[in-house]
């Protein structure tokens, strides 16, 4: 009873894995058992299933059709009243990612992922729990349909039970049931309580989508931003050899500060940010501004003016601090959690100074 993982790469950038559950017999393979009639699995007749490799098309839950993991995923959804999207159980539920292995994956890995999501994993069978075998590399999963004899006998339903013909093992990709007694070699390794009411804690919600924005001076000397906003080329020339500064606003969107090829400070933004464009403030050649988002909204920019003095400007106003900076240096600014900001810079005396509000 095994579950095989198949991964493919899309455009060389995004890795996606399709998992094939090869349900191999624990111990010697039996002759082909007959299928029962209580099968409601929607992909039972999918012709893509390969009896030699157990491969086939992907199902909606992130597994391969007519494999043990695919059938178990279907049954766990049915148990939670889901026979269509949005699904209650999938391979990547709870924010799982193929890239870092936080998926249910092969059947042998199901107990690990279930535990990570807060589900109870133990040796106590219950109707509706997942029976798991880990005695082979890929493992096997089935669904418990009955518990008797004081918890020492279980009946399970499952898919893809193998059989041997002419010394060759085949995978039938079909539905079967069987009863197993505790102490036998076929007794499951674990019982996973995912949809039978035995969860230790509810699974955590999926994390919010991750977004980012990156600002840089392209080799065309134009300002570019890349990321979730997908703006690309702003068609705004930057001063050669300088770098932009970008910040995410507390109210959403972002702002980017940079020295334009006119020598002036510019502030531009996206995704709903209220930008100023040309601030009309000259900057010292060869220096770069620093921008920070204020906790109560808005932003503050610190820069070395073309007079050599430290200046700040932003949504709370513009200020000439009257403090000389070392030529060719750039300040750094950060917002404070309780409000206000602090600026660090090298003074024209060579000393480090910090000022703020």
pLDDT of residue 347: 97
Please give the Cα distance from 104 to 115 (Å, whole number). 11
Supply angle C-alpha 238, 241, 244, rounded to 5: 55
Contact 141, 121 (CB under 8 A): no
As beta bridge partners, residue 343 has: 333, 355
- pTM for this model (two decimals): 0.51
Give the residue ranges of the chain where pLDDT is below 70. Answer: 1-37, 163-164, 169, 198-210, 271-275
Six-digit token pair at 142? 């089935």
CA-closest candidate to residue 87, choices 107, 62, 64, 61:
61
Exposure on the CB side of residue 123, measured as CA atoms within 13 A: 5
Token look-up 């840089």 returns 216
DSSP for 214-252 reads: EEEE-TTSEEEEEETT--EEEEEEB-TT---EEEE-TTS
Residue 2 DSSP one-character state: -
pLDDT of residue 159: 94
As beta bridge partners, residue 254 has: 248, 270
pLDDT of residue 206: 58
**Average pLDDT over all residues of the chain:** 84
- The pLDDT tens digits of the residues spanning 334-351 come to 999 888 999 999 999 999
pLDDT of residue 204: 58
As beta bridge partners, residue 144 has: 156
pLDDT of residue 223: 94
- SS3 per-residue string spanning 287-331: CCCEEEECCCCCEEEEEEECCCEEEEEECCCCEEEEEEECCCCCC
Please give the Cα distance from 121 to 188 (Å, whole number). 12
pLDDT of residue 35: 35
From residue 190, give the alpha-carbon distance in Å to each of 126, 150, 306.
11, 17, 71
Burial class (CB in 10 A: 0-12, 13-18, 19+), 100: exposed
For residues 189, 149, 146 and 80, what is the CA-based torsion angle, rounded to 10 degrees? -70
pLDDT of residue 229: 77
Six-digit token pair at 196? 């039978």
């Amino acid at each position: 009873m095994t579950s095989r993982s198949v991964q493919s790469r899309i455009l060389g950038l995004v890795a996606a894995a399709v998992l094939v559950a090869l349900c191999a017999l624990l111990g010697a393979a039996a002759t082909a058992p007959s299928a029962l009639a209580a099968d409601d699995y929607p992909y039972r007749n999918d012709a893509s299933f390969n009896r030699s490799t157990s491969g086939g098309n992907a199902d909606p839950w992130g597994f391969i059709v007519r494999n043990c993991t695919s059938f178990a995923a279907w049954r766990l959804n049915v148990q939670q009243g889901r026979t269509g999207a949005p699904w209650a159980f999938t391979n990547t539920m709870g924010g799982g990612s193929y890239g870092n292995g936080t998926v249910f994956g092969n059947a042998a890995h199901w107990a690990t992922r279930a535990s990570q999501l807060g589900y109870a994993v133990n040796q106590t069978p219950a109707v509706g729990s997942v029976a798991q075998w880990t005695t082979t590399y890929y493992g096997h999963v089935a669904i418990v349909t009955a518990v008797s004899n004081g918890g020492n006998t279980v009946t399970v339903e499952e898919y893809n039970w193998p059989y041997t013909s002419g010394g060759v093992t085949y995978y039938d990709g079909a539905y079967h049931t069987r009863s197993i007694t505790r102490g036998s070699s076929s007794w499951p390794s674990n019982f996973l309580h995912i949809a039978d009411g035995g969860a230790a804690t509810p699974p955590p919600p999926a994390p919010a989508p991750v977004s980012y924005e990156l600002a840089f001076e392209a080799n065309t000397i134009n300002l570019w931003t890349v990321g979730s906003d997908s703006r690309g080329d702003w068609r705004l020339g930057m001063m050669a050899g300088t770098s932009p500064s970008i910040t995410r606003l507390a109210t959403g969107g972002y702002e980017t500060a940079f020295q334009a090829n006119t020598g002036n400070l510019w502030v531009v933004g996206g995704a709903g940010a209220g930008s100023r464009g040309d601030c009309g403030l000259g900057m010292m050649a060869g220096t770069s501004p620093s921008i920070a988002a204020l906790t109560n909204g808005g932003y503050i920019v610190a820069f070395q003016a073309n007079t050599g003095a430290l200046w700040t400007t932003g949504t709370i106003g513009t200020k000439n601090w009257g403090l000389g900076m070392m030529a060719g240096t750039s300040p750094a600014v950060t917002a404070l959690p309780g409000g206000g900001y602090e600026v660090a810079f090298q003074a024209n005396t060579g000393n480090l100074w910090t000022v703020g509000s």
